Amino acid sequence: MSQGRPIKNVTNPDRIGSYFRLEAGPLLLVTVSGLLYNLGMLAGPYFEGQLVQRLFDIINGNKTFASMVTLALTYLAVILIVQVMRAIKRFYVRRFANNTSRNMRHMLYNSLVNMSKVELEQEDLGAVMTKAIADVDACVEGMRKFTTEIFDTGVVLVAYLGLLFFYDWRLAMLASLFTPLAYLIAGGLKTRITRYNAEYKKSAGRLNNATMDRISNAVTYRIYGREQNRDQAYEAHLQDYEQRAVLANLWENTMQPLYNIISMCGAVLVIYFGARNVQGSGWTSWDIAAFTTFLSAFTKMALKSSKAAKLFNAVQKAQVSWQRIKPLMKAYVVPNTNTTLDFSRPPQLEVTDVSLRWPGSTWSLNAISFSAAPGQIIGVTGAVAGGKSTLGKAFIGEVPYQGSIRVGDRELSELSAYERSRLIAYLGHEPELMSCSIAENIRLGKQESIAAVLETVCLDQEIAQMPQGAATSVGSGGIRLSGGQQARTALARTLYNAGPILILDDPFSAVDRRTEQAIFRNLRRLAKGKIVLLISHRLYLFPDLDRVLFLDNGSGIFSTHAALLKENNAYARLYRAQMAGGEQHD
Ligand SMILES: Nc1ncnc2c1ncn2[C@@H]1O[C@H](COP(=O)(O)OP(=O)(O)OP(=O)(O)O)[C@@H](O)[C@H]1O
């Protein structure tokens, strides 16, 4: 990875002013160069007037050609300085925009990756992608335009207006009356532009969602013959997006010529009353230089002020995007990798009187108590929907618990997310493979060898036969692997990243019994010194486990397999039924 400029964390990231403050340095340079450039713009009309006057004087024999050349060269030198200022200003405005874009994305990214599972599930992925890319771009573009135009339009307008008032204040007032009209129209269109832009952004989010859904579920739709139906739905989203894009663009862009025409109406007055000034019958007395300077300055001002109206619209558009991303701009979460855990000794696990309940659900698991020592494999089983997976999820903080789960000398709920991840490795029901290679799925960014874990999960030989070995891409969600290969890749990932406690939820459901037994033997070796909670609805291996937690009717019985078989009818029935079924299969 390239070692770029460090990105700054933003205090009060939900306030737009914070991003301006963070870039105070570049903005100061923009201010200085912007003021010099825009005040220097007055040189144009001034020198144009002087040149016309000089030409008039040369024709009348009052001035020499050499004085005209000197005047022209002075004009050129001033223009050069002004243009250098312009280049400096542009450079720093661009730098401000680039830095702001990086800072905003940095904060947004941090906020997204630190969302809880529940929050992530509530977010609509297509809308999030639109916010993370298009809305940040629109927002930064609005900030860039605002920063540029505050000088290129604001300062220059004031400068031109000052010049016009200096030459003839009455005519300046009269001719400038048209400009506020253009602003009024732009202001009137504000709500419309906001509304159409917000609708356009929502539609972009829906289209992104439909695209992602269509791609990630392409095979499912193909199998069920629903491709045409989905394509029609996608087409409808696309059409909606196009229509809203056109509407948003129309209101934002097509008004410019109207603003121009309105602002330029004043030029007619300048020509009429300015000519009277030159003739000596107007409000003041002018030479040709004054007339030319006034007309030139007015034209430039009128064009600039019509751009200001467009600027309001651009800022409006940026505000729409800012409102969309603002709720996601949360205080930066610094990764907390501090820990007081003692990793030199494997911890004991002590679960006492634990109750679990999903928020908003009436279902619960009560009075669960069990313990485990390093090196032990504990089986967890029970009826369908008996709470096996829920118990596993309690160890990774997905479901709240009451009672006590002590890992070594610490209470589980008091551990930080980092500490929990160092202590507990969890393999869920689904393989949840990512769309990359087998090796990348297992390593998750680490670089150590994966050979040992591939061997443990009995995947080494199959991978050796693949043309690209462990670099084979698993496809979206692991689609290019068999179910058993997916399950074993996921198990390999958990073992590769294992802490002292392993929670394995049905790791063998997609493999045959022989492979299951081979993996189990390897697991025993690999898990020496670790605690393994083996959640399973299949009981073949349970006679070999150190202890069994049997979940029955919302509570748990913790014993050995042999004792449960003897003393618990429900467990015995479950086990014998499976053995009978298994023997038939074998
Ligand atoms: N995310 C959730 N939110 C609310 N309730 C849930 C959630 N996940 C599971 N449940 C409920 O918790 C109960 C136990 O489900 P759980 O998945 O733990 O059972 P299980 O024993 O693992 O089932 P199976 O053998 O079918 O895998 C069920 O009634 C289920 O509907």
- The residues near 129 (Cβ < 8 Å, ≥ 6 apart) are 205, 208, 212
Residue with tokens 């990756």: 113
Could you tell me if the CB of 537 is within 6 A of ligand 1? yes
Residue ranges of the chain that CATH labels 1.20.1560.10: 16-189+255-328
Q: What are phi and psi of 494, to 5 degrees?
A: -65, -40
Q: Give yes or no for residue 118 CB within 6 A of ligand 1.
A: no
User: Could you tell me the two tokens for 443?
Assistant: 């390593």
Average pLDDT value for the chain: 87
- The answer to whether residue 240 scores a pLDDT higher than 90 is yes
Q: How far is CA 360 from the centre of its chain?
A: 30
Select from 385, 392, 388, 406 the least CA-distant residue to 503.
Answer: 392
Check whether 417 has a pLDDT greater than 90: no
What is the rounded CA–CA span in Å between residue 156 and residue 142? 19
For residue 585, pLDDT over 80 is answered with: no
Confidence at residue 87, expressed as pLDDT on a 0 to 100 scale: 93
Report the percent of the chain where pLDDT is more than 90. 43
CB count within 10 Å of CB 567 equals 11
Which of these, 321, 125, 119, lies nearest to 209 by C-alpha position?
Answer: 125
Distance CA 545, CA 488 (A): 20
* pLDDT in the model for residue 582: 56
- What does the pLDDT average to over 216-228? 85
CATH class of 16-189+255-328: mainly alpha
Query: How far, CA to CA in Å, does 213 sit from each of 157, 220, 256?
Result: 50, 11, 39
CATH class given for the domain over 349-585: alpha beta
Residue 370 binned pLDDT confidence (cut-offs 50, 70, 90): very high
Instruction: Round to whole Å and give the CA distance between 302 and 567.
Output: 95
- Give the H/E segment covering residue 260: helix 256-264
Quote the longest CA-to-CA distance of the chain: 127
pLDDT of residue 116: 79
Residue with the bigger pLDDT between 177 and 77: it is 77
User: Side by side, which strands form the sheet with 377-382?
Assistant: 410-411, 401-407, 349-357, 364-372, 555-559, 547-552, 377-382, 531-535, 501-505, 424-427
Selected residue with higher pLDDT from 572 and 177: 572
Provide the percentage of residues in the chain whose pLDDT is more than 70.
96
Residue 437 DSSP one-character state: B
Neighbours of 300 (CB within 10 A): 18
Cα 499 to Cα 237: distance, rounded to the nearest angstrom: 46
The total number of residues shown for the chain amounts to 586
Residue 309: is its pLDDT beyond 70? Answer: no
DSSP 8-state code for residue 473: B
Tell me: pLDDT of 67 over 60. yes
pLDDT tens per residue across span 99-133: 999 999 989 988 888 887 777 777 777 778 888 88
Q: What are phi and psi of 549, to 5 degrees?
A: -110, 115
Ligand 1 contact, 385 CB (< 6 A) = yes
271 versus 256: the higher-pLDDT residue is 271
> DSSP states of 15-74 as a string?
SHHHHHHHTHHHHHHHHHHHHHHHHHTTHHHHHHHHHHHHHHHHHTTSS-HHHHHHHHHH
Whole-number pLDDT of residue 101: 92
Judge if the beta carbon of residue 361 lies within 6 A of ligand 1.
Answer: yes
> Other CB atoms closer than 10 Å to residue 581's CB: what's the count?
10
pLDDT at residue 81 above 90? yes
Residue nearest to atom 31 of ligand 1 (CA): 385
- CATH 3.40.50.300 range(s) for the chain read 349-585
Instruction: Report the C-alpha gap between 583 and 366 in whole angstroms.
Output: 35
Residues of 158-187 as b/e, b for ≥16 C-beta within 10 angstroms?
A: ebbbebbeebbeebbeebbebbeebbeebe
Q: Note the pLDDT tens digit of each residue in 482-539.
A: 888 999 999 999 999 888 999 999 988 788 888 888 999 998 888 788 999 999 988 9
User: Which region among 150-154, 344-348, 459-463 has the lowest average model confidence (pLDDT)?
Assistant: 150-154
Give the integer Cα–Cα distance in Å for 474 and 54.
79
Res 310 pLDDT > 80: no
The answer to whether 586 and 393 are in contact (CB under 8 A) is no
Complex prediction ipTM? 0.96
360-367: long-range pairs with CB below 8 Å, 24+: 363/387, 363/554, 364/554, 365/390, 365/391, 365/551, 365/554, 365/555, 365/556, 366/554, 366/555, 367/555, 367/556
pLDDT of residue 254: 67
Residues 6+ apart with CB under 8 A from 149: 307, 308, 311
For ligand 1, what atom is nearest to the CA of residue 390? Answer: 18
Most confident of 112-126, 230-244, 332-346: 230-244
User: Which pLDDT band holds residue 345 (cuts at 50, 70, 90)?
Assistant: confident
pLDDT of residue 5: 57
- The Cα-based distances of 357 to 385, 390, 399, 422, 554 in angstroms read 13, 9, 7, 25, 11
Residue 186 has pLDDT above 80, yes or no: no
| Most confident residue range from 4-18, 213-227, 386-400 | 386-400
91 lines ligand 1 (CB under 6 A): no
The number of the ligand 1 atom at minimal distance from the alpha carbon of 392 is 18
Maximum average pLDDT range among 49-58, 303-312, 340-349: 49-58
Instruction: Please work out whether the CB of residue 362 comes within 6 Å of at least one atom of ligand 1.
Output: no
Q: What value, to the nearest 5°, has the Cα angle with vertex 580 and ends 576 and 584?
A: 165
CA of 506 to the centre of ligand 1 (A): 14
Banded pLDDT at 583 (limits 50, 70, 90): very low
* Atom 1 (ligand 1) nearest CA: 358
Whether 315 and 146 have beta carbons less than 8 Å apart is answered as yes
Ligand 1 contact, 389 CB (< 6 A): yes
Residue with tokens 């007037």: 49
Contact assessment for residue 264 and residue 299, using Cβ atoms and an 8 Å cutoff: yes
Give the pLDDT mean for 329-335.
Answer: 86
The pLDDT of residue 586: 37
For residues 235 and 300, the model is more confident at 235
Report the b/e string of 206-233 with b at 16+ CB within 10 A: bbbbbeebbeebeeebeeeeeeeebeee
| pLDDT of res. 584 | 40
- Whole-number pLDDT of residue 337: 82
Q: How far apart are CA 375 and CA 525, in angstroms?
A: 9
- Whether the predicted pLDDT of 189 surpasses 80: no
**Of 406, 399, 367, nearest in space to 556 by CA:** 367
| pLDDT at position 96 | 94
Atom of ligand 1 nearest to the CA of 398: 1
DSSP-derived secondary structure letter, 542: G
Closest residue CA from atom 7 of ligand 1: 358
